[in-house]
Amino acid sequence: MNTKGFTLIEAMVAIAIVALAIVGPMYTANSAIVAAELSNDQITASYLAQEGIEYVRTMRDDAYLSAYAIDLGTSQYAPLDGWNNFLKGNNGPSNPWSISKCFNQSPNKTCTLDASPSQSMSVALNQCNTSAENCSPLYLDPSSGIYSTTNLSGTLTPFTRTFQAESISGVPLDTNGNPVEILIQSIVTWNFHNNTYTVTVTDHLTPWQ
């Protein structure tokens, strides 16, 4: 007597076909979700890096405006004095615009940058270490949407923003011995699925725009 039915091999083939039909779309959907998340992180990192550049440009501009006021409206010396304060100031209350502690020279210096409104310019840049491995990460304030290194009550993000300034070889010096042009870098790094990603925005600054 013949009994019709599935053999073990036929059952295994059927299961394999069903599995492929399910796993394929699931893998595609998961890849799309991962790509969307990474793209969102890259956009956020780009904005954070650009914000760092704009903040440092503001520091330079404020140093100029302060020097202009001290020089009693004599703009002849204000660019030189402002530029000198911007590059060599002591980062104290009287010189809050300096990036002196962030120059990537020997030894290398790396700073975190906190551009939140609660931070005064004198403490916006904080040197961390030479390799930037232990620089403070950014926290997101859920109420204001502002990223900060000091708002520890906010949500910890995967992003770390660092800042470096660098002299450019061959650039002439002004009468104060300062280069008339420097390179600045705002760098945002983050980890995603055990991979490290980096967005770097650079700009060149001169004694005035």
What's the confidence (pLDDT) of residue 142? 85
**Residue 81 — φ and ψ, nearest 5°?**
-65, -45
Per residue in 161-204, pLDDT (tens digit) is 999 999 888 899 888 888 899 999 999 999 988 899 999 999 99
pTM reported for the whole predicted model:
0.78
138 has a pLDDT exceeding 80: yes
Q: What is the DSSP letter of 101?
A: G
Domain range list for the chain: 8-205
C-alpha span between 150 and 138 (Å, rounded): 8
Nearest to 193 by CA among 2, 41, 18, 87: 41
Q: Which two tokens stand for residue 8?
A: 């073990």
In the block, tokens 């304060």 appear at 85
92 has a pLDDT exceeding 60: no
Per residue in 30-88, pLDDT (tens digit) is 667 767 888 899 999 999 999 999 999 988 888 888 877 776 555 556 667 888 888 88
The DSSP bridge pattern shows strands 182-192 and 195-205 to be antiparallel
- Over its C-alpha atoms, the chain yields an Rg (Å, rounded) of 26
**What share of the chain in percent tops pLDDT 90?**
26
